[in-house]
Amino acid sequence: MERIIGKYGPPQSDLLIFCLAGMHGNEPAGVRALEEVFAHLYQYRPPVKGRFIGLRGNIPALATHKRFLHEDFNRIWTEGNIRIAREGHAHSPEMKELKAVFEEMDAFMGHPYSQRIFLDLHTTSGDNGTFIVAVDYPHSRNLLDKFPVPLILGLEEKLEGTAITYFRRQGFISFALEGGLHQDPQSTPVLAWGIWTVLLESGFLSPVYMPDLSETRLHLRHKFANLPQLLSLDYLHRVRPGDSFVMRPGFKNFDKIHEGQHLADDRHGPVLAPSAGFLLMPLYQKEGDDGFFLVSPPPH
């Protein structure tokens, strides 16, 4: 597997759009979506205003269809780890991937772009998981408000070492798009729609060169018509090793939850919702440290 999925547009551009897919090896839909978008660009060769680059994240994990081999690749993007990886002291397969991604990025990051956008593509183990994880919403809202899917705020402050936080600190407009269920064939077109939306709304591509995405857009508008567009994190249930955490069956993303609702079980007994809200990312896979999240509309 190659690190680079695709590159398009002149290197000496003002705008950089950088996409990562497959940070989690059990989430190949983002890789397929980028492959589709680049195939379309290579076939029709539209004129563009900017440089667009797509990379694979965790290649050994993608090759074995595992979320990760040793540690979650999307929790190690800290200054300290990046320095260690760059110095060649990678202590895990994921730290080696971090080094490899930075070596690839060094080839194009040096150029003085006036605008930079980072998009991280994911899918979820629970159903109905189409949403955006935003960082620094005031800075990114001009772009993110164009997406008719829920925007989740405040999640990044609770999660250490994610790529979107790293790129935000580097001055990027930075966000993650969750496309839906890992194994749902619809997750790939949803993620591809997200990429095209960024290419269009950033001014990279003129609308006349866009494929027709009205069906996906309409589908998402209907699906989320009754949900608030902005939701902020109230609670994150962390899973520790040995907790034997098991989510109760049947929960989906954005299920309405009441305070005290029995959501899961672990070695201490029933896990109850500490507050009312909407459920996010119920954990239905073996790997992962986050059992579930609760979100609600932010206070005005």
Residue numbers at the binding site for Zn ion (CB under 5 A): 24, 27, 122
Shortest CA distance to 257 belongs to which of 270, 241, 276?
276
CB of 123 to Zn ion, least distance (A): 7
Name the residue number minimizing CB distance to Zn ion. Answer: 122
Strand 230-238: give its sheet, edge to edge.
Answer: 4-8, 51-56, 15-21, 115-124, 173-181, 130-134, 151-153, 230-238, 290-296, 277-280, 256-257
CB of 70 to Zn ion, least distance (A): 16
CB of 182 to Zn ion, least distance (A): 9
CB nearer Zn ion, residue 24 or residue 168: 24
Decide: residue 213, CB within 10 A, 0-12 exposed, 13-18 middle, 19+ buried. Answer: middle
CB of 247 to Zn ion, least distance (A): 17
CB nearer Zn ion, residue 68 or residue 251: 68
| Contact assessment for residue 118 and residue 167, using Cβ atoms and an 8 Å cutoff | yes
CB nearer Zn ion, residue 46 or residue 288: 288
* Residue 45: HSE in the Cβ half-sphere, 13 Å Cα cutoff: 0
CB nearer Zn ion, residue 122 or residue 168: 122
CB nearer Zn ion, residue 184 or residue 201: 184
**How does strand 15-21 pair with strand 115-124?**
parallel
CB of 260 to Zn ion, least distance (A): 30
